[in-house]
Structure 1
Amino acid sequence: MLVDPYLSRYDTGLFTGAFDPATGLTVDETALDRHADRATTILVTHTHWDHFNDVPRIAERTGARVFGTLTAYHLGLAYGLPSGQLSPVKGGEVLDFGDHTVEVVSSLHSRNASYSLAFPGVRVSRPARPATIADLPEGDTLAYQVRVADGPAVFFMGASDFAERDLAGLAPDVAMVALQSSTATADYVPRLMAALDYPRVVVPVHWDNFETPLTNPPTVAPNDRQRLDALVAAVREASPRSRVLVPEYHTAYHF
């Protein structure tokens, strides 16, 4: 199972102050060979390039089923994936895979300092094949909770906002919590920890410079390092019994 697998990690200028929405979409086949040679399920939180760019190619190579919004469905068709390999979901579904279930959670995308977001919009029909990063809109946002039989429940979010009512009752053991891109969302960490019933383990995600190679230690932009430290401190204050695990690449963690 893969969640938002983005391995190509090419330069768009996002981390250098020269962001170019016309950056062409490319796939690093070598990175996919090394890190994504097998998959049966791909969960997509939203369809910005840094979440969806590699999904169609991984699905094509592995035969994995892709779950995501209706936008993800239509974009998958635009890349030539068969409709039978694409499963549109919207939140509320509880999907049975035998030894685990996947609960789909309606969610929200994070806001920037202007209370907006990059490339908003949805695709309500099959578009032309995307060519630039601007051709991959947010397309609504989901989160997922995977519950393993006789094992933990793990919550995944790909953007730093949420609707508290949609998280009621999930109570995951492990929560993958996205780093805030701004302070536009009020009381982000305290509300999130309370809504998730104070998970035993909190794993910050989406905090590294994802336009650099997958080498340890992960590269972190200076302003993101400050935000990461603030996120860790806020989790420890709001949920002092939670263990915070900041992950590294190529590393397996067992819960």
Structure 2
Amino acid sequence: MNYQLRWLGNAGFEFQLGQTTLIVDPFLTRPHFIQTYFGHVAPDEAALHKHIPRCDAILVTHAHFDHCMDAPAIALRTGTRVHGSANTCRLMQAAGLPAAQTNEIAGGDRFSINDIRVSVLPAAHPWIPGYTFGKLRRELEFPLLLRDYRMDACFSYLLEFEGTRILVWSSTQPDGAPRADLLTCRAVSSQRWYDTLLRQTQSSLVLPQHWDDTYQPLSDEPQPFFSAPRLGMPPIGRIDLADFSARVREAAPDCAILVPDIFKAYSIHPPCRTA
């Protein structure tokens, strides 16, 4: 049976489970930093066509631009369905996606995509300047300003396929995570956070997400994004993946850690070790 994954940059992952290709939070368009606040941005159709030639379903964790703005272009080309919050679905439809190709979901929902069972888990999201919350503007004319992608709800996803459990953990809180063989989670948090999350999931393989600088060109080698300000010098650094690995290893010594190369396909061997 074919089990593969690819990291698509940012929080984007592609999972090929049997005959089904499922994508979470695809975002290959690389805007300039200033466009977070000014200027309209259209999806990079050439990059999407090159790196995501096909898929059977798209899951969106929340409606910020770096998680959902590329989803309608992929769905229009492939004919696939996008699953997400009310804001996500309205954004998809405003971008031209037929309503039949959207599925509005909420925390606690469960549904199937072919042989994959999907559980929708409520997730917490931090306040970040430039990334807005609340209702969408009444009039949405594409391409949008990036700040027009407003979040109403945030989700994590548990994918179950032939006894294998894959958890896309999008929450800033570690509590309430289910058991999972493979876990993707944030790359910056405290040791206590990883202790709690790994104790609950008992995962055998962990991958970081949302750690790279999405303002640099897609053709460049991925570089860590800036971390949160801190006391000491320098006050602002970049995300340290070695520190992430050390904390995961401290929390779960027997757990494997994979920092994947962008767009490289990795074979998963249940219970979720990689080739």
Q: TM-score range by the shorter chain?
A: 0.7 to 0.9
Residues 166 and 181, structure 2, Cα contact 8 Å, conserved in 1? yes
CA contact (8 A) 1:3 1:43 kept: yes
Q: Percent identity?
A: 29
Q: In structure 1, what is the Cα distance between the partners aligned to 2:197 and 2:130?
A: 20
Q: Which amino acid aligns with 2:182?
A: V
Structure 2 vs 1, CA of residues 117 and 231 (structure 1 numbering), >3 Å: closer, same or farther? farther
- Tell me, yes or no, if structure 1 residue 171 matches structure 2 residue 179: yes
Question: Does residue 167 of structure 2 align to residue 155 of structure 1?
Answer: yes
Q: What residue in structure 1 maps to residue 215 of structure 2?
A: 211
In structure 1, how many angstroms separate the alpha carbons of the residues matched to 2:250 and 2:71?
36
Shift of 1:44: 0.1
Match of 2:159 among 142, 146, 149: 146
Q: Which runs of 5+ in 2 are unaligned?
A: 1-21, 228-236, 269-275
Following superposition, the deviation at residue 215 of structure 1 comes to: 4.5
Match of 1:118 in 2: 131
Within a 5 Å distance, the mapping from 1:1-255 to structure 2 comes to: 1-13=22-34, 20-111=36-127, 118-123=131-136, 127-129=139-141, 131-150=144-163, 152-157=164-169, 159-162=170-173, 164-165=175-176, 167=177, 170-180=178-188, 187-196=192-201, 198-215=202-219, 217-221=221-225, 223=227, 225-255=238-268
Q: For the residues of structure 1 that align with 2:135 and 2:194, how far apart are their CA atoms?
A: 28
Q: In the TM superposition, what whole-angstrom CA distance separates every residue of 1:67-94 from its partner, at most 9, and x where no partner exists?
A: 0111111112221222111101112222
Name which structure has the greater RCO, CA cutoff 8 Å, separation 6+.
2
Q: Take 1:222 and 1:75, find their aligned partners in 2: how far apart are those partners?
A: 28
| In 2: Cα distance, 1:179 partner to 1:106 partner | 19
- Compute the TM-score of the two structures, normalised by the length of structure 1: 0.83
What runs of 5+ residues in structure 1 fail to find an aligned partner?
Answer: 14-18
**Structure 1 residues 197-239: Cα deviation after superposition (integer angstroms, max 9, x where no partner):** x210000011111122335742224656544332221111111
C-alpha separation in 2, matches of 1:188 and 1:129: 40
Bigger drift between 219-228 and 72-81 goes to 219-228
Q: How far apart are 1:163 and its partner, in Å? A: 6.1
Contact 1:94 1:104 in 2 (8 A): yes
Which has the larger strand fraction? 2
SS in 1 for 2:41: coil
Measured after TM superposition, the shift of residue 186 of structure 1 is 9.0
Q: What is the TM-score of this pair, normalised by structure 2? A: 0.77
| In structure 2, distance between residues paired with 1:229 and 1:127 | 45
Residues 110 and 117 of structure 1 are in contact (CA less than 8 Å); yes or no, is this contact kept in structure 2?
no
Q: Distance in 2 between matches of 1:11 and 1:117?
A: 13
Structure 1 residues 30 and 21 mapped into 2: Cα distance closer, same or farther (>3 Å)?
same
Question: 1:193, 1:200 → 2: CA distance?
Answer: 9
Code of the aligned partner of 1:9: R
